Amino acid sequence: MTTKIKIILAGGGHAHLLLLKNWPAAERPNVEITLISEFPTAVYSGMVPGYIAGTYTLDEIQVDLAKLAAACRVNFLRADITGLDLTAREVITNSAGSIKRVPFDVLSLDVGSRAGVSRVREKSGGADPGREFSIKPLQTFLENWRRVSADPAIREIDVIGGGAAGLELALAMASALRLVRAPSKIRVCLHERASRILPQMPRRASRIALKRAQDLGVEVQLNSSGQIGADKKMGEAVDSGARARFVAAGPTAPEWFRETGLDLSAGGFICIDEFLRAKGHANIFAVGDCAEFLRQTSGGQPQPIPRSGVYAVRQSPVLLNNLRAACEACAEPHSTKVSASLQKYHPQKRALYLLSLGDLDGNHKTMFTWGLFAFAAKWLWYVKRWIDRRYMRGLQNSYRQAK
């Protein structure tokens, strides 16, 4: 009996979920795949604002990883990945205090990013950690949001970070709270350290978003780092027990990467090559937010591609092809055809974004951005809802319709 090639898919990110859906078990008889995730579900970030605003149920916005794994005939291990042993080729996991080492021949990392609570807390001189929540992991964020939104003592919600995620969440929170609380009883405030919200997007997008924030009663503080104490405008009217802060201050790298021995960028993300492989490792891949892929820009300086779901999704077919090639390399280490079958990843020049702008009395608007172009409309919300539901149903049907 030949030993199977062991692939570990670390994290239930977009690229891994699509890969499982698109790699039939019949095509990998000599491969044993194990999916490892810290949570039993993968929450789809694109639908989180809609869930908060009350449009979707929790069931609609998440994938059951154990069921998906079973339907795709792969192992599922629910555990927190805490490190790698590159010499022994093992992933180190922690499940409720029990440490396990899981061996691999080929490893793919798709563990996403965090949202930098500690960074903000350090700067703020120690905000009450019981009232400060990161928006990542999304599962924990959703629990915290349910608790905060149901707490009548809370009178101020601060969202730190006026990028796409922070904006969408602040508008969704205001939409939800309008339905249950008088505006005088609750204040939602969005803090952005730049001089405009959505600083990475065209100016027109910032203007549209600002107008929508005003319509929904969201206070926008620009040039504000969200520091308690140093920022006088913040929270001076309410005591700390009545205030909750949600940090959406941009993606940060998981801290355990630092000890892995992998080549990391200045920000701590895994540096990958054109084949999505961790630099210097033919059998380790990294995709999505946790990876740093540099591309040449017109200015001459290579720049990392943005950390967004759009890019993570497009990496999946390339990853699938290259995992197959890596398996062939394991099976036939001296073959020359293997490296030829690796596929290069070519990121799109620019990406189309549909940002949810909250629900104002049944009028759920969405903004379209593409390069320098931006506009908002109600009908775009139906387009976004259709796209997001189709994406999720595609994944959920993989196990709901499995025989």
Ligand X SMILES: Cc1cc2nc3c(=O)[nH]c(=O)nc-3n(C[C@H](O)[C@H](O)[C@H](O)COP(=O)(O)OP(=O)(O)OC[C@H]3O[C@@H](n4cnc5c(N)ncnc54)[C@H](O)[C@@H]3O)c2cc1C
Give the residues lining the site for ligand X (CB under 6 A): 11-15, 36-39, 42, 45-46, 48-49, 80-81, 110-112, 135, 137, 165, 168-169, 254, 288-290, 307-310, 312, 353
Task: Pick the closer one to ligand X by CB: 42 or 71.
Answer: 42
Mind giving me the DSSP string for 321-345? Answer: HHHHHHHHHHH-TT-SHHHHT----
Choose between 49 and 162: whose C-beta lies nearer to ligand X: 49
**Residue 283: CB minimum distance to ligand X, A:** 19
Shortest separation between residue 338's beta carbon and ligand X, angstroms: 26
Nearer to ligand X, 21 or 155 (CB): 21
Percent helix / strand / coil, the chain, rounded to 5: 35, 25, 35
Shortest Cβ distance from residue 125 to ligand X (Å)? 26
Q: Are 188 and 157 in contact (CB under 8 A)?
A: yes
Give the distance, in angstroms, between the CA of residue 275 and the centroid of all CA atoms in the same chain.
22
φ/ψ (deg, to 5) at 70: -60, -45
Q: How far is the CB of 280 from ligand X (least distance, A)?
A: 21
Q: How many CB atoms lie within 10 A of CB 18?
A: 22
Closer of 246 and 329 to ligand X (Cβ) = 246
Quote the CA–CA distance of 11 and 167 in Å, as a whole number: 26
Residues 395, 62 contacting (CB under 8 angstroms): no
Cβ distance 125 to 229 under 8 Å? yes
Instruction: Write down the H helix ranges in 181-264.
Output: 203-215
User: Counting Cβ atoms within 10 Å, is residue 301 exposed (0-12), middle (13-18) or buried (19+)?
Assistant: exposed
CB of 15 to ligand X, least distance (A): 6
For ligand X, the closer CB: 107 or 330: 107
The SS3 assignment for 119 reads: helix
Cβ-based nearer residue to ligand X, 77 or 329: 77
Residue 175 CA to its chain's centroid (Å): 22
CB of 13 to ligand X, least distance (A): 2
> Could you tell me the CA-to-CA distances from 82 to 38, 335, 346 in Å, in that order?
10, 34, 30
Provide the terminal-to-terminal Cα distance of the chain, rounded to the nearest Å: 28
Q: 187-192 and 219-222 as β-strands: parallel, antiparallel, unpaired?
A: parallel
Min. distance of Cβ 353 from ligand X in angstroms?
A: 6
Which of 142/210 has CB closer to ligand X?
142
Q: Which amino acid is at 276?
A: L
* CB nearer ligand X, residue 155 or residue 260: 260
CB of 144 to ligand X, least distance (A): 13
